[in-house]
Structure 1
């Protein structure tokens, strides 16, 4: 048994190292002083990070991504909260179908969604609009908030709510003073998870962004098709850092183990 346990630890360690190796290499290349993609030697430099912040297109696309992720995550959570309440507490025909509809973007390729949304936006004349781009991101990221909120509401003890209702509190007051505070970790975790996925979304966004709404991942893709230099590694390192910081915040608020297994 100890031998099997040591083998499992070694195997898991190798898997983790294999998964993290590309990210570590990219982050190391970002500090190279050379003009080509190469690992830094004894000399490390921040020149490529400075170039990123001096590049107006990257700064603009970063602001677009930040604003888009914030708006999309807020709309997604605002939609997911009442939908999750209806699914977990309601008993009406089509409840399972409604849940499947909200979670369906998880299994639909983003490439297919991008092409479909491009055709729809072209027909209604909504191409190039930030509002429609945000709504498209809401479609993609809402299932992540739904998954956490449904898990948080499953098995939820409603005795406190019933006591408040019996004492004369309105349903709105019960939701605001009792229900929402008790599911707040799921709401906060869902918002952060939606923010990460919206900020990193590139496959669908390529089809529906306009010159005025280009996001950072799309700008990186466009830049990579023209030239490859360490500035791409610097941008990637910044995104890795932002994603890691958000993931740590998510772990502190909700717990990454709950996110991954979907348990309350």
Structure 2
């Protein structure tokens, strides 16, 4: 069987269909006018999308998730840029340890992180704080930003910086007008990837949210334990839409293929 033979094409088509079919079904069910999760439906309706906007708890959770994702992504970028520049450019004692420390949340199950964060917040008396929830999300999204920044820095031509220094530019000017613009695709792509992961995070958030800081995925989980109706499908469709839009923007800004191979 050749790499691009009929069987290979059929196999990949079946894999794509298998992965996308549940998402398509959820989006179709979201437009049902019925009171139950049913497909096919007798028609199309925006009834359940209107129910979302009329449900104050879901709207509050949506804004919590949105602000949480924006803050966590922004803070992680601010922390990852200097760290990635140091790790990607210079050799120093502890360089490997520092790199492993920033990337370690990728290999630790979020269930374990959630339990650990819950215990930590209880010890310091910060249980239920939105600020500490942001800090917890920064921990889990920073590795994604680091990975893209390290990939961007690995292909960085430092002769441009050296030329700027030779012309009398200060370090701040070189960073602002030379370094940052050249790694900007990695910065922007890392921010978007961090936003997506923070907005969709459930496993860790369920341990450390409070009644006033419940995120949208946690609210959906809580709602599903009580009842399942097409409003869940409508909320899921909205999350799928937001995630897909962010992924498309990420692909246009940075390129999903670069993320997969880990290089610029």
Normalised by the length of structure 1, the TM-score is 0.98
Q: 1:155 offset after TM fit, Å?
A: 2.9
Deviations 1:197-255 (A, max 9, x none): 00000000000001111000000000000101110000000000000001011111111
User: Is the contact made by 1:149 and 1:190 (CA closer than 8 Å) also made in structure 2?
Assistant: yes
Q: 1:65 offset after TM fit, Å?
A: 0.3
> Equivalent residues in 2 for 1:43-192 (5 A)?
43-192=43-192
Quote the Cα distance in structure 1 between the aligned partners of 2:53 and 2:222. 17
Quote the Cα distance in structure 2 between the aligned partners of 1:182 and 1:102. 23
> Equivalent residues in 2 for 1:231-246 (5 A)?
231-246=231-246
Decide whether aligned partners of structure 1 residues 133 and 8 sit closer, same or farther in structure 2, where only a CA change above 3 A counts: same
Q: Secondary structure at the match of 2:92?
A: coil
Q: 1:42 offset after TM fit, Å?
A: 4.1
Quote the Cα distance in structure 2 between the aligned partners of 1:208 and 1:237. 25
Stretches of structure 1 lacking an aligned partner (at least 5 in a row): none
Which residue is equivalent to 2:255? 255
Q: 1:41 offset after TM fit, Å?
A: 2.8
Quote the Cα distance in structure 2 between the aligned partners of 1:77 and 1:29. 37
Which residue is equivalent to 1:10? 10
Quote the Cα distance in structure 2 between the aligned partners of 1:165 and 1:8. 53
User: Is the contact made by 2:73 and 2:195 (CA closer than 8 Å) also made in structure 1?
Assistant: yes
Deviations 1:59-103 (A, max 9, x none): 000000000000000000111100100100121011011101100
Detail structure 1 runs of 4+ shifted over 4 Å in the superposition: 1-4
Taking only aligned residues, the RMSD between alpha carbons, in angstroms, comes to 1.1
Q: 1:2 offset after TM fit, Å?
A: 6.2
Normalised by the length of structure 2, the TM-score is 0.98
User: Is the contact made by 2:30 and 2:233 (CA closer than 8 Å) also made in structure 1?
Assistant: yes
